[in-house]
Amino acid sequence: MRVIQFREALREAMSEEMRRDPRVFLMGEEVAEYNGAYKVSQGMLDEFGPERVIDTPISELGFAGLGVGAAMNGLRPIIEFMTFNFSLVAIDQVINSAAKMYSMSGGQYNVPIVFRGPTGNAGQLAAQHSQNFENWYANCPGLKVVVPSTPYDAKGLLKTAIRDDDPVIFMESELMYSDKGEVPEEEYLIPIGVADIKRPGNDVTIVSFGKIIKVALAAAQELEKEGISAEVIDLRSVRPIDYAAVVESVKKTNRLVIVEEAWPLASISSEITYHIQKHAFDYLDAPVHRITSADAPLPYAPTLIQAILPNVERTVKAVKAVMYRD
């Protein structure tokens, strides 16, 4: 199977859907003439023209609102935020318009729109450009929230998101755009809300999503050296969450560690912990442990960044804690 970059997988997904459906278009800052801030949309202007690959002013609230209106009138926009940190400027349109319109209109208006772009830290970008909003958007009824971790998942999930009749938040990572992985040439779709077991195991379940899956998998490799078999589950979407996949894994391993990049309060890991203690409490041999970022804005200094973010060492320590009840 061919190997392509994460950004290429996203580009293929958008281009294939735009060829398939003339109602699909891409809009955002630098997506056209500059070929995308991260070169995700490279070459798309040449193929589809300026009516379907549209450069916008630096006005997230404005072009998010245009996208919502277009979706209500039968089009299927892809709105790219240069970073989801900038989506805060547009959050009124995302939350109060896109997410609520179907309910408020009594089912008269669907809003088939995808808001996509990078989330989380991307190195030394400091506090205002390094935040995680997966749990924020997942808190809002009416939205679906997708956070892929591989090129294969990114393409299949983005194609599904574009075809969805509801608004989808599609979150990537600047640190993953150059990642390479196997992606079939033939068309495929991945359903939203179905987790993936990235590594089978028997002793402990590690749950994560997005780029932090790399931390979970690296920790599992380290644990294997000590005879601990870790099952790594990639949620792939955090609204809806595939609770059943996590419950079934915990019933097998009897231990759970959750790793995510967001701040600890009201995190996805908090939600999963609650669900597991309610639906799989009798199977747990140890309390659930979670690894999140420290409860502080991300600093600029690289040494402090490493201290704040989830890492392999902290994950291994958490697994040993649930294994040996330290």
Tens of pLDDT along 64-81? 999 999 999 999 999 999
Of all residues in the chain, the percent with pLDDT exceeding 70 is: 99
**Averaged pLDDT, 115-119:** 96
What is the C-alpha separation between 14 and 24, in angstroms, rounded? 8
What is the C-alpha separation between 230 and 306, in angstroms, rounded? 24
**Averaged pLDDT, 228-256:** 98
Catalytic: 279? no
Catalytic residue among 8, 60, 134, 260: 60
pLDDT at residue 299, rounded to an integer = 86
The b/e string for 247-269 (b: 16+ C-beta within 10 A; e otherwise) is: bbbbeebbbbbbbbbbbeeebbb
CB atoms inside a 10 Å sphere around CB 48: 21
Catalytic: 60? yes
Q: Which two tokens stand for residue 43?
A: 């070459």
pLDDT at residue 246, rounded to an integer = 98
Q: Which residue has the higher pLDDT, 324 or 208?
A: 208
pLDDT at residue 147, rounded to an integer = 98
Full-model pTM:
0.95
Q: Which two tokens stand for residue 171?
A: 């979150």
Classify residue 165 by its DSSP letter.
S
Of all residues in the chain, the percent with pLDDT exceeding 90 is: 92
**Averaged pLDDT, 116-141:** 90
Which of 179, 257, 275 minimizes the C-alpha distance to 216? 257
For the chain, the first-to-last Cα distance in angstroms comes to 44
SS (H, E, C) 274-321: HHHHHHCHHHCCCCCEEECCCCCCCCCCHHHHHHHCCCHHHHHHHHHH
Instruction: Find residue 55's DSSP bridge partners.
Output: 28
pLDDT at residue 325, rounded to an integer = 64
Which of 166, 165, 45 minimizes the C-alpha distance to 100? 166
Catalytic residue among 8, 129, 134, 172: 129
Strand duo 230-234 + 196-199: pairing: antiparallel
Tokens 């450069």, residue located: 55
- Asked which of 91-105, 114-128, 170-184, 276-290 is least confident by mean pLDDT, the reply is 114-128
CB 196 within 8 A of CB 234: yes
Classify residue 81 by its DSSP letter.
P
Tokens 């912990």, residue located: 273
Question: Domains in the chain and their CATH numbers?
Answer: 3-182 (3.40.50.970), 196-324 (3.40.50.920)
Going by pLDDT thresholds of 50, 70 and 90, the confidence category of residue 290 is very high
**Averaged pLDDT, 270-285:** 96
Q: Which residue has the higher pLDDT, 145 or 297?
A: 145
Radius of gyration, CA atoms only, the chain: 20
What is the C-alpha separation between 76 and 167, in angstroms, rounded? 10
CB 12 within 8 A of CB 187: no
pLDDT at residue 306, rounded to an integer = 85
Q: Is pLDDT above 60 for 326?
A: no
Strand duo 114-118 + 180-182: pairing: unpaired
In the predicted model, what is the mean pLDDT of the chain? 96
What is the C-alpha separation between 100 and 299, in angstroms, rounded? 35
Which of 73, 66, 72, 78 minimizes the C-alpha distance to 40? 78
Longest Cα–Cα distance of the chain, Å, equals 60
Q: Is pLDDT above 90 for 121?
A: no
